[in-house]
Amino acid sequence: MFRQLRARFGGPLAAAILALLGIWLIVMVTLPQLQMIDYSLRPNLLPAQVGGPEDGWTLANYVTLFNNEIHRAIFFKTLWSSVLVTLLTLAVSYPLAYYLAKLASPRQAALCILLLIIPFWINEILRTYSWFIILAFRGPLNEVLMMLGLIDRPIRFLSGDAGVMVGMVYAYILFMVFPIYNAIESLDDNQVRAARDLGAGTLRTHRRIIIPHAKPGIATGCIMTFMLAAGSYAVPALLGSPGSRWFTQIIYNWFFEGGNWNQGAAYAFLLLVLCIGFMSLVMKLFKVGLGDIAK
Amino acid sequence: MSSQRLMGWALRGYVVVFFAYLFLPLLVMAAATFNDSRFPTVTPWDGTTLRWFGELANDRGMWQALTNSLIVAAGVLVVAVPIGIATALFLNTVSSRAKPFLYALILSPLLTPGVIIGISTLIFWRQWGVSGGIFLTVLGQATFIAAYVMLMVTARLQRFDRTMERAALDLGASQWQMFRRILLPYLKPAIYSAAVIAFLQSFENYNTTLFVVGYDTTLTVYIASKVRTGLTPAVNALGLILILVTVLLAIAYEVKRRRETRVPGV
Amino acid sequence: MDASVELDRVVMRFGDFTAIEETSLAIASGEFFSFLGPSGCGKTTLLNIVSGFLTPTAGEVRIGGESMAGVSVNRRPTAMIFQNLALFPLMTVFENIEFGLEVRGVDRRTRRATSERLLALVALEGSGPKKVTELSGGQKQRVAIARALAVEPRVLLLDEPLSALDLKLRQHMRVELKAIQRKTGITFIYITHDQGEALNMSDRVAVMSAGRLQQVADPMTLYRSPQTGFVAAFVGENNRLEAKVIDQDGERVRLDGGALGELSGRGTAPTPLANGAAATLYVRPEHLRPVAPGQGLEATIEAVHFEGAWVMLETRLAASGEKLRVQLGHELSRQHLEALQPGRHAHFGFDPEDAVVLPDDGGPALDAATGEVMEDAHV
C-alpha cells in the first residue's frame, strides 16, 4: 500500500496519508470500540479493586439486561419503534423522491432539493423543539383541532411514543429521501415509458421497474434511518415522557446517573449489535453490498 | 382525466403538503419568538415583543456555549478535513486485497449511532486520564465527520483525469509539486464544501457530543438543557437566529456550488 | 546537443505477459521517428519506457548517449504530448505553458518571455490569458505543443496527439508538426496507428506488431520493399497471391503460381528464399494494369467503385478464385474505364519490379469482411 502511495505522491506525502489514516482508523475508530467492548465485559469496580481478584471478564453486564424486565421492554420497544419509524419515513419519502427524480422539471427539482436541504442543516434539537411547541398540551395543534371541532379536549401528545415517532420521522426524513432520489434518478426514463407502453399500470410500474431499480437507495435510506432512530437521544429526551423512554436514555443514565460505565458500555454495545443486525438484514433482503450504500 | 394524470396531480398535492410539513414547525417556532408569553407558544398570542432577543443577549451561559461550539467546530475542521482528504487519496490510489475490509472500516463511523461513538471515545480516553471536554468532543465528532469529508472528496477525485498527473511529472514537477499545483487545486471545491458540511455537522451535533462534552457545554447541548429545564422563548430567539444564519449559509453554499458545476470540471 | 535515443535490448514484461520483446533501436538526433502499429502492439508501452513512466524489465534507454536507468520521469530530457493533451483545465494558457519552468524555479519574467515566444511559434499570439477551456480543439493542440517545448526537451514524445481532431484539422496539424520539428531540431518520437500520419511526417518509421519491431525504414522503403508479411499487409493495401518458389536470382524471384502459371517479383525478405518453399506474392492495387487477353491474370469483375481520382475494381481470379483488387487511374480513357462493368472478364498484369515476394509467414490476422489488419490479439 505504501509503495503505491509513494509512487503517486512521493515518500513524505505517502507517509502523511498513511499516518492520518492510521490515526483515524486505529486511535479514533477501532481502539475505542474495542475498549468499549472490553469495558462491557468487566465488572464495575472501585479504582482500588482494578487488577485485583474481582477484575476479570464476565458476562454479568449483559445478564443485567436479560434480568431487568423494564430495560428489556425498553430495548424491544426501541427496536420496534425504530422499525416503525423507518417504515413510516420510507412511506412518506418515496413519493417525494419519485416526484423529484422523475416528474419535476430540473428547475423544480433543484428548488425542492434546496428546500429539503435547509431544514437538514438546522439543528436536530431545534427541529425537534419546534415539534415540542406544536404538540404541547396548550399548543397550536390542539387549538386547531379544537377549533375545527374534531376534539373537544386537548390531547397529551407528548406523553406517549406518538410524539417521539412524529419527531423522528421529521428529523430523519432527508436521510431517506436523498438516497432514494439518487437511485430513482439514475433510472432511464425509457424503461418507465416502455413499461407503461406494455400496459403496466402505475402501481405495477413501481413494483416491477422503479422499486427494484431503487433498491440500493431504499436500503441505504432504511439503514441510515433505523440507525439514527435507534441511536437518537435528542428526540425522545425532548418529545418523550418518563413513560416513553428510549434505550439510549437508559445508556445515558448508566453513565451519568448510575455511574456504572461498564454496565453502560454493555448496553451501548447491544445497541451497536442491534444496528449492525438490522443493517445486515436489510443488505441481505435487498441483496446490496457495502459499496452500494455509500456512493 | 386519465388515471395517470390524476396520480400526477395527487403527487403534486402531496409534495405541497410535504413541504408544509417540513417548514410549518420551523415557522411556528420562529413565530413563538415574538409572542409576549412566558412559555414558548403561539396559542394564545399575548402580544408581540422583541424582548426575548434582549434576554438572549444577556444570557452569559449561551455566549459561553456558543464560544465552545465554535472552538469545537474549528478543531473538527483541523482534524477531520485532513483525515478525510488523506483517506480519499488512499482509496483512490491503493489497490490491495485488504481494501474491502479497510473500506468497511472507513465507512463504519457513518453507520454507527452517534451515542456509541461518543461512549467509546469517552471510555477510551479515560485510561489516559482525559475526561469529557472540548478535546474529546473534537475527537468524537471528527471520528464520523472525517468519513463525510472522505465521501465528498472521493466523489470529485473519481472524476479526476490522472493523465494530468503524468503530464505534470513529465514537465518536471516533483510529486509534491504535482499535488500542490494540480491535484489540490482540482479538489479545492470539494474540500471547501466538505469543510462547510463538517462545520455544520459539528455545530449541530448532539448525540455524540452529549457523552464527551463534560462541563464545556456546546450550544446544542445548552439549548437541549434549556428546553428541558428553564424553558423561555429566548430559546426560540436563539433558534430563529441559527435558522436564519443556516439558511443564508445554505443559499450561499448552493449558489457557489451551482456556479462551480457550470464550469466544466475537467 | 545530442538528442539521439537508443533502445538497447529493451524488454518489457507484465507478469507472464511480454509487452515488448527484446528490442534494440537507434534514433538519430533531430530525427522525426514514428512507431506505427495496430492498437495493442506495444508502441505506447515503448513510449512510456522512453519517457520514464515505465521501467523496462531488461535493457536500457540512452538519450544523448546517457543511460536513463534510475532517472525519474521528471528528470528526463523528454516531454510528452498526451493523446488527450492533458492540459491543466484550471490554469490559463500562460500558466499551462509556464508550468514546467515554474516547477524548475525559473523567475516570472523569463517564464513569460519563453511562453510568449512559444505562443508565437505555434501561432497563438495573444491567447496567453485565456482559460484552456475556452480554446478550440486545434488551439488546445498547439498549447500542448508549446507547453512541452517550454521545458526545452531534447526529445518530444507524441502519443497519437491528432487522433481527437477532425480529418481536416488533422491534415493541417501534420504539416504544422513537421514544420515545428524542422524549426526546433528536436527529436520527435511519434506514436500512431494511422499509416498516413506516419508515412507523411516521418524520416523513418518502425512498424510494430505483437511487441516486436517488424521493420524500421524510411517511408518509401517501407511502402515499396516491406520485409515481412505484416508490413506488406498493414502499410498500404496489397493483394496476396499464394505460390511456391522456383528459384531466386539476386532480388528476382520466380514463382510457381499453380493455376495462375509462372509469376515473378522482388524478394525483399532479409534472407533469400529456398527453392520450393511456400511464398506469398504481394502486388498493390495501383500496380495492376489492364493487359491484352492471353496475358497476365484473367479475372471476373465483381464490383466497381468510382472514387473520383481513381476507380477501384473488385475482381476474382478465374484460375484460382482468389480476390484481386485493382486501382485504375485516369490515364486510361473514359471509354476504357466505362467498359469495366461487373460481370465482365478482364486481364490484369504487373511489372515484376512492383511486386514483392515474402516467405509465407502467415501474415497478420485480417478481417474477412474488410481485408484490414485486425487489432493485435496480443493484448
| pLDDT of res. C374 | 54
Query: CA distances (Å), B146 to each of B71, B119, B249, C238, in order?
Result: 17, 18, 21, 63
Interchain proximity C74–B185, CB inside 8 Å = no
Q: Are A180 and A97 in contact (CB under 8 A)?
A: yes
Inter-chain CB pairs, A–B, below 8 Å: 256
In a domain, A109, yes or no: yes
Is B163 an 8 Å CB contact of chain C?
A: yes
Phi and psi at residue A90, to the nearest 5°? -60, -45
Interchain proximity B116–A117, CB inside 8 Å = no
In Å, the largest CA–CA distance within chain A is 77
Q: Which residue has the higher pLDDT, C266 or A66?
A: C266
Q: Percentage of chain C surpassing pLDDT 90?
A: 34
**pLDDT tens readout for residues B171-207:** 999 999 999 999 999 999 899 889 988 998 898 888 8
Determine the Cα–Cα distance for residues C5 and C64; give it in Å rounded to an integer. 6
Q: Are B235 and B224 in contact (CB under 8 A)?
A: no
pLDDT, mean of residues A78-104: 89
User: Is residue A157 over pLDDT 90?
Assistant: no
Mark which residues 156-185 of C lie under 8 Å from B by CB: none
Q: Which of B76-80, C138-142, C270-274 has the lowest mean pLDDT?
A: C270-274
Interchain proximity B171–C151, CB inside 8 Å = yes
| pLDDT of res. C136 | 87
Mean pLDDT over all residues of chain C?
Answer: 87
In a domain, A169, yes or no: yes
Determine the Cα–Cα distance for residues B153 and C210; give it in Å rounded to an integer. 41
Interchain proximity B172–C88, CB inside 8 Å = no
In a domain, A35, yes or no: no
| pLDDT of res. C367 | 54
| pLDDT of res. C47 | 92
Nearest residue to C130 via CA among C166, C173, C96: C96
In a domain, A131, yes or no: yes
Interchain proximity C103–B172, CB inside 8 Å = yes
| pLDDT of res. A25 | 94
| pLDDT of res. A217 | 87
pLDDT, mean of residues A154-166: 79
pLDDT, mean of residues B64-75: 92
**Which residue of B lies nearest to C73 if distances are taken between CA atoms?**
B170
Domains of chain B: 34-262 (1.10.3720.10)
A28, A34, A263: best to mutate for the B interface, most B CBs within 10 A: A28
Whether ipTM tops 0.90, in short, is no
Q: Which three cell numbers stand for residue B96?
A: 490491495
pLDDT grade, residue B261 (50/70/90)?
low
For A271, the domain range is 71-293
Interchain proximity C103–B177, CB inside 8 Å = yes
**What is the CATH classification number for the domain harbouring A116?**
1.10.3720.10
Query: CA distances (Å), A17 to each of A9, A27, B86, B109, B110, in order?
Result: 9, 15, 5, 19, 21
Burial class, B135, CB count within 10 angstroms (exposed 0-12 / middle 13-18 / buried 19+): middle
Q: Which three cell numbers stand for residue A231?
A: 441511536
Instruction: Give the type of residue at C39.
Output: S
| pLDDT of res. B264 | 43
| pLDDT of res. C220 | 92
Q: Percentage of chain A surpassing pLDDT 70?
A: 99
C44, C81, C88: best to mutate for the B interface, most B CBs within 10 A: C88
In a domain, A80, yes or no: yes
In a domain, A45, yes or no: no
**pLDDT tens readout for residues C58-72:** 999 999 889 998 898
Mark which residues 236-265 of B lie under 8 Å from C by CB: 263-265
User: Is residue C368 over pLDDT 60?
Assistant: no
B119, B196, B208, B257: best to mutate for the A interface, most A CBs within 10 A: B119
Is B182 an 8 Å CB contact of chain C?
A: yes
Residue owning grid cell 505477459: C17
Of B174, B223, B250, the CB nearest to A118: B250
Instruction: Give the type of residue at A57.
Output: W
User: Is residue A153 over pLDDT 50?
Assistant: yes
pLDDT grade, residue B150 (50/70/90)?
very high
Q: Which residue has the higher pLDDT, A114 or C88?
A: C88
Determine the Cα–Cα distance for residues A70 and A61; give it in Å rounded to an integer. 15
Domains of chain C: 5-224 (3.40.50.300), 237-288+352-379 (2.40.50.100), 291-349 (2.40.50.140)
Mean pLDDT over all residues of chain A?
Answer: 84
In a domain, A216, yes or no: yes
User: Is residue B71 over pLDDT 90?
Assistant: yes
| pLDDT of res. B41 | 74
Burial class, C198, CB count within 10 angstroms (exposed 0-12 / middle 13-18 / buried 19+): buried
Determine the Cα–Cα distance for residues C78 and C98; give it in Å rounded to an integer. 16
User: Is residue B263 over pLDDT 50?
Assistant: no
**pLDDT tens readout for residues C119-134:** 988 888 888 899 988 8
Pair type for strands C212-217 and C66-67: unpaired
**pLDDT tens readout for residues A178-190:** 889 888 888 877 7
3-state SS class at C59: strand
Instruction: List CB contacts (< 8 A) between B132 and chain A.
Output: none
Determine the Cα–Cα distance for residues B147 and B80; give it in Å rounded to an integer. 8
**What is the total count of domains within chain A?**
1
| pLDDT of res. A60 | 80
Residue owning grid cell 494540480: B182
| pLDDT of res. C15 | 87
Q: Which three cell numbers stand for residue B254?
A: 448552493
Of B169, B181, B186, the CB nearest to C73: B169
Interchain proximity C86–B161, CB inside 8 Å = yes
Q: Which three cell numbers stand for residue B46?
A: 399575548
Interchain proximity C103–B173, CB inside 8 Å = yes
Query: CA distances (Å), A265 to each of A208, A231, B57, B133, in order?
Result: 44, 14, 39, 19
User: Is residue A49 over pLDDT 50?
Assistant: yes
Pair type for strands C78-81 and C155-159: parallel
| pLDDT of res. B1 | 46
pLDDT, mean of residues A9-14: 90
User: Is residue C189 over pLDDT 90?
Assistant: yes
3-state SS class at B246: helix
